[in-house]
Amino acid sequence: MVETLRTVVEATGHDNVSAAHESTFELTSDDYLTPAGDCIVGIEADTVPASFDEAYIHACQDGEASIRITLEANQHTDSIEASGHPELTFESDRSMVVRTSEYVDERTVAIDADKAAADIDRDLVEALAEGATLTATLRVD
């Protein structure tokens, strides 16, 4: 039996959420968002990569890991499929980034995603722009 590990991050939308970025999306623990942050879909995240569970991190560092990120706000949901990578460090104490590319840095929590901010369901994005609470569930197997 394969064990599925998960991490849940709660964040808040903001009136500057545009979700226009075409290669990433991000959640940050920062309490503000400028219009330039077009990849950010949630602020005031209650969990950052540096505080993720060690078992979850280890599972994501498997090059064969499959990661599903589910975003939910005001009964709107979207799911993103992505991959793990051996070089994921989960060292950021500020933000988590999901990338459509294979680029990895201390903020990266998944690569090769099938969606970026610009691809996220627009009803969900609208709810976030109105300040809705965002629940991001990251599952790895």
Q: Which domain CATH number covers 19? A: 2.60.120.630
Question: What token pair was written down for 7?
Answer: 């991490």
**What's the number of domains the chain is made of?**
1
Report mean pLDDT in 10-residue bins for the chain, 141 residues: 79 98 98 97 98 96 97 98 98 98 98 98 98 98 88
* pLDDT for position 113: 98
* pLDDT for position 3: 57
CA 122 – CA 136 distance, rounded (Å): 16
* pLDDT for position 1: 36
CA 138 – CA 88 distance, rounded (Å): 15
pTM of the predicted protein model: 0.96
Helix (H) or strand (E) holding 28: strand 24-28
- Structural domain that includes position 132: 5-140
Three state DSSP letters for 77-138: EEEEEEECCCCCCCCCCCEEEEECCCCCCCCEEEECCCCCHHHCCHHHHHHHHCCCEEEEEE
Measured over the CA atoms of residue 18, residue 79, residue 11 and residue 88, the dihedral's sign is negative
Three-class secondary structure of residue 55 per DSSP: helix
Rounded-to-5 percentages of helix, strand, coil across the chain: 15, 35, 50
